[in-house]
Amino acid sequence: MIVCSCNVLSDDDIRAAVADSDDAVRHAKQVYGCLGCSAECGRCARTIKTIIDEALGPCAKTCGIGCPHSHVAANDEDTEPSEFALAAC
């Protein structure tokens, strides 16, 4: 299913970006960076966040010490990073 019509990104594209990233992809900006595009209208951001959370599974809300995604605190997951760095995809 097409999630972002501006960049023609499908839900499979988003799941692949999350799965293939060496770093934890937790925000729409990171997905856009992994896929080599940028947000246009932003209407898809909530849907992308939902797909990211589904792709990360239980880890999305309960990352702890030892988790490969532990560099992002669980309490900070709903806030955008202050400076966007491209995730290594």
What's the confidence (pLDDT) of residue 36?
92
Helix (H) or strand (E) holding 16: helix 11-20
What's the confidence (pLDDT) of residue 69?
52
Q: In 3D, which of 36, 11, 41, 13 has the Cα closest to residue 87?
A: 36
What's the confidence (pLDDT) of residue 88?
47
What's the confidence (pLDDT) of residue 55?
87
**pLDDT beneath 70: ranges in the chain:** 58-89
Any long-range contacts for 60-67 (C-beta under 8 Å, 24+ apart)? Answer: 60/26, 63/24
What's the confidence (pLDDT) of residue 2?
95
What's the confidence (pLDDT) of residue 68?
58
What's the confidence (pLDDT) of residue 75?
43
- C-beta of residue 69 within 8 angstroms of C-beta of residue 61: no
State the pTM of this model.
0.64
Q: How far is CA 18 from CA 22, 39, 75, in A?
A: 9, 17, 20
